[in-house]
Amino acid sequence: LVIIISFSVLSRNPQIIPSSGSFPNPHNYHHTIKPHQKISSLSRINSPHLISKLRAYERHHKRCQPHSQSFNQTIHQLLTNKNNSNSNPAAAAACNYIVYTPVNGLGNRMLSLASAFLYALLTNRTLLVNFGPDMTDLFREPFPNSTWLLPKQDSTRVFDDATTLHFRDAHNYIHYLLYLPYRCRNYEKFFFRDENQKRIESVPWLILHSDQYFLPYLFLMPCFRPELDRLFPNRETVFHQLGRYLFSPSHQAWGFISTFYETFLSKADERIGIQIRVFNDSRGKSTPLVMKHVLSCIRKQGILNRTGNRAVLVASLSGDFYKELKVNAAGVGVYQASQEESQRLGDASHNMKAWVDMYLLSMCDVLLTSAWSTFGYVAHGLGGVKPWILQIPDIGGAGDGGEAECRRAVSAEPCFHNPPDFDCPEGFVSPVVRCEDVGKGMKLV
Ligand code: GDP
């Protein structure tokens, strides 16, 4: 039995989200499904210790949030460049912060932000986000009755140009700039060493610039490991649990998600998400090759062979794959929520579409995601789904690149692309393995 779901609606207008600013009014939507409705057995927070840690963090955040007495006092210390914590016990009771500054695309940002949050939980810091206008309406405030947004005021301008605050030696400093972007080889060994964590502990402001999911490495640090084992008896769901807690779609985002989901996906017995991310190929030269590999993976793994009513959601910058899949997956509803053509930084409506796509993918039952893509990691991580990872050799090249690999991930956890070297002590049972798609990367198991 084959049912084609509202196919004509999408064929007439594949881009249901308009390409610039003029979004439909979210108040017109019927909110019959709730965010996080599709909760698999993986997704429940299964550690009472994590729940009580989160509740304690919420109280702490409320006390230390922007404009609180502690916040004003600590910002004053930063501006006057005086760390009173040794001489003034009242100041020592004030709050310590980690200020997250986004780097790179939305997937990268969400992964590094989740890492920063876990670090904040472990070190008793308050997590604040230094979002620009392109990020402000994507998520709901995660912590009840408080804000995580760093206020835009004269005293916080200093965070916008944090390079002026660069210190390597954290001892007795008021702030420490932690720069953890991709392609910085063996970067920040300082940060990932236990003995240096002791020194960073007393620094009130930790300013983090990162696009990396550095969270797995925290499990390799003896100072954090006992607490992490208590918080996460199941390491395969760390991002799933933290991500669902932190990233809840805003009212506007939820309007787009729920409308699309109800119109095209809700009636299917099985939803299949296909995320196609092609790097370094702005002209689409490799589209036929990539398509060939996507179809071969679908066939080999029997992804469309099962009986029942299925819907395919395609997420890609390009519309070419959607068109091809419509032709190749005859009798199955194929849908795409946006076709942005190219990646853009600093654009709120572009980021909104990316978030909608990631969230819709996370609501799918089966996922095929692209190797190396943090966009795909967020989708399968939030969904708690072990994806088929499509690894296409020779991307962007002219040849056919040989046989593409398409294998099942060991877990729904994202990959830390660029970890510092780690010498595994003898007899140590490692909490991480090499990633399926990135040879030098590591992921939790
Ligand atoms: P990565 O580069 O694949 O690791 O993922 P990132 O999310 O960090 O950066 C890619 C950016 O390109 C996204 O944040 C989006 O802005 C855009 N993008 C890439 N793929 C898609 C897609 O399938 N849909 C949408 N809407 N945007 C995409």
pLDDT in tens, 318-360: 999 999 999 988 789 999 999 998 888 889 999 999 999 999 9
Residue nearest to atom 15 of ligand 1 (CA): 354
**Region 209-238 average pLDDT:** 95
* Confidence grade of residue 187 (pLDDT, cut at 50, 70, 90): low
Interval between CA 106 and ligand 1 midpoint (Å): 7
Indicate the class that CATH gives domain 7-40+250-414: alpha beta
Interval between CA 351 and ligand 1 midpoint (Å): 8
Nearest atom (ligand 1) to Cα of 211: 8
**Region 259-270 average pLDDT:** 96
Of the residues 317, 335, 339, which should be mutated to test ligand 1's pocket, given the most ligand atoms within 8 Å of the CB? Answer: 317
The lowest-confidence range among 101-110, 229-238, 305-314, 363-372 is 305-314
The reported pLDDT for the residue numbered 403 is 65
Burial 406-434 (b: 16+ CB within 10 A, else e): beebebbbbbbbbbbeeeeeeeeeebbbe
The reported pLDDT for the residue numbered 246 is 96
On average, the pLDDT of the chain sits at: 82
**Region 122-131 average pLDDT:** 97
Residue nearest to atom 11 of ligand 1 (CA): 105
Task: State the amino acid at position 320 in one-letter form.
Answer: D
Residue nearest to atom 2 of ligand 1 (CA): 373
Task: State the amino acid at position 173 in one-letter form.
Answer: Y
Pairing, β 125-129 against β 96-102: parallel
Q: What is the Cα–Cα distance from 384 to 382, expressed in whole angstroms?
A: 6
* Confidence grade of residue 157 (pLDDT, cut at 50, 70, 90): confident
Q: Which protein residues are within 6 Å of ligand 1, measured from CB?
A: 104-108, 277, 315-317, 338, 340, 343, 350, 353-354, 357, 373-375
**Region 306-314 average pLDDT:** 90
* Confidence grade of residue 163 (pLDDT, cut at 50, 70, 90): low
* pLDDT reading at 76 higher than 70: yes
Residue nearest to atom 12 of ligand 1 (CA): 343
Q: Over the stretch 53-67, which tens digit does the pLDDT of each residue have?
A: 999 999 999 999 999
Residue nearest to atom 3 of ligand 1 (CA): 373
351 backbone dihedrals φ, ψ, rounded to 5°: -65, -35
Interval between CA 343 and ligand 1 midpoint (Å): 6
The reported pLDDT for the residue numbered 182 is 64
Contact criterion met (CB below 8 Å) for 176 and 205: yes
The reported pLDDT for the residue numbered 259 is 96
Of the residues 344, 345, 375, which should be mutated to test ligand 1's pocket, given the most ligand atoms within 8 Å of the CB? Answer: 375
Contact criterion met (CB below 8 Å) for 358 and 107: yes
Q: CATH 3.40.50.11350: which residues of the chain?
A: 7-40+250-414
Contact criterion met (CB below 8 Å) for 387 and 371: no
**Region 162-191 average pLDDT:** 61
Nearest atom (ligand 1) to Cα of 107: 7
Residue nearest to atom 19 of ligand 1 (CA): 317
The lowest-confidence range among 91-100, 194-203, 217-226 is 91-100
Global confidence as pTM: 0.88
SS (H, E, C) the chain: CCCCCCHHHHHHCCCCCCCCCCCCCHHHCCCCCCCCCCCCCCCCCCCHHHHHHHHHHHHHHHHHCCCCHHHHHHHHHHHHCCCHHHCCHHHHCCCEEEEEEECCCHHHHHHHHHHHHHHHHHHCEEEEECCCCCCCCCECCCCCCCCCECCCCHHHHHHCCHHHHCCCCCCCCCEEEEEECCCCCCCCCCCCCHHHHHHHCCCCEEEEEECCCCHHHHCCCCCCHHHHHHHCCCHHHHHHHHHHHHCCECHHHHHHHHHHHHHHHCCCCEEEEEEECCCCCCCCCCHHHHHHHHHHHHHHCCCCCCCCCEEEEEEECCCHHHHHHHHHCCCCEEEECCCCCCCCCCCHHHHHHHHHHHHHHHCCCEEEEECCCHHHHHHHHHHCCCCEEEECCCCCCCCCCCCCEEEECCCCCCCECCCCCCCCCCCCCCCEEECCCCCCCEEEC
* pLDDT reading at 103 higher than 80: yes
Proportion of the chain above pLDDT 70, given as a percent: 80
Residue nearest to atom 25 of ligand 1 (CA): 354
Interval between CA 104 and ligand 1 midpoint (Å): 10
Q: Between these two residues, 178 and 223, which has the higher pLDDT value?
A: 223
**Region 80-95 average pLDDT:** 58
The reported pLDDT for the residue numbered 424 is 76
* Confidence grade of residue 110 (pLDDT, cut at 50, 70, 90): very high
